């Protein structure tokens, strides 16, 4: 099948994507930041991926920093030989009302959520261009499509990913590379589990299906976009939100 690189894959949606692509037969590169917590969790996910009979390794780098991405991509190429799928999933939130938001929290979210996508698409795109094949899947958000109170920084980063996806699709399409995005809605996580019943009801009242999504449902869409059945799909954004906005 080839090699799939997933950024921010030590937990949450990224870990679900890594395991699903391993199940599909891809060798897996799990990227996360270099911290004690990330090293432990990424190692556990790598073990789960290997259970599917594929090669899985962890590469620790801050993907908001170009130099660290450059070294990581070189090391991955040397270790795995090819990079056939790139999933740009790394992301953080630093929520707050715009007039109270610090410049630091704005810049940090943009760097990790959006600059990282540029870094990895540029570097991995060059590898894929030589191969004349590849799949790039960027994880955006419904917040990047519709906005959300208290998330000007996050909305900006995720909206930028949509524009970057469409531009890169036009640049890379002639080399056999597809570039698409997935925009999750309210996905069950540690954060949503900690909400009060009133907060959960308020969120779910706006969702047609009246439930949270699951990380495995995002992973299923990524699996499709990484596979042969999506070979003529590029520059698209697939919203997975249970009918949040229609």
Active-site choice (106, 154, 212, 232):
154
Told to judge if 232 belongs to the known catalytic residues of this protein, a careful annotator would answer: no
> For residues 109 and 152, what is the distance between their CA atoms, to the nearest angstrom?
10
Give the H/E segment covering residue 139: strand 134-139
Contacts 24+ apart (CB under 8 A), 218-224: 218/13, 218/16, 218/17, 218/139, 218/182, 218/184, 218/187, 219/13, 219/16, 219/17, 219/19, 219/20, 219/21, 220/20, 221/182, 222/17, 222/20, 222/21, 222/87, 222/137, 222/182, 223/20, 223/21, 223/24
Hey, how many other C-beta atoms are within 10 angstroms of the C-beta on 85?
Answer: 29
> For residues 185 and 239, what is the distance between their CA atoms, to the nearest angstrom?
7
Residue 46 CA to chain centroid, in angstroms?
A: 17
* Vertex 90 angle, CA 143 and 1, to 5°: 115
Catalytic amino acids? 154
């Amino acid at each position: 099948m080839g090699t799939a690189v997933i950024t921010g894959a030590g937990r949450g949606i990224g870990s679900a994507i890594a395991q699903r692509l391993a199940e599909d037969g891809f060798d897996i590169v799990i990227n996360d930041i270099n911290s004690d917590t990330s090293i432990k969790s990424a190692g556990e996910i790598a073990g789960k991926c290997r259970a599917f009979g594929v090669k899985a390794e962890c590469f620790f780098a801050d993907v908001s920093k170009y130099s660290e991405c450059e070294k990581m991509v070189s090391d991955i190429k040397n270790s795995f030989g090819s990079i056939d799928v790139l999933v740009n999933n790394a992301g953080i939130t630093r929520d707050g009302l715009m007039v109270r938001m610090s410049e630091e929290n704005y810049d940090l979210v943009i760097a990790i959520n959006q600059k990282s996508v540029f870094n990895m698409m540029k570097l991995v795109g060059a590898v894929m261009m030589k191969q004349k094949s590849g799949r790039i899947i960027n994880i955006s958000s419904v917040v990047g499509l519709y906005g959300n109170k208290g998330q000007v920084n996050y909305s900006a980063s995720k909206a930028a990913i949509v524009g970057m996806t469409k531009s890169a699709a036009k640049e890379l399409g002639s080399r056999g590379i597809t570039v698409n995005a997935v925009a999750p809605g309210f996905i069950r996580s540690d954060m949503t589990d900690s909400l009060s019943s009133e907060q959960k009801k308020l969120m779910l009242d706006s969702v047609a299906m009246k439930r949270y999504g699951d990380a495995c449902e995002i992973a299923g869409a990524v699996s499709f976009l990484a596979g042969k059945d999506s070979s003529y799909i590029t520059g698209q954004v697939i919203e997975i939100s249970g009918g949040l906005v229609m």
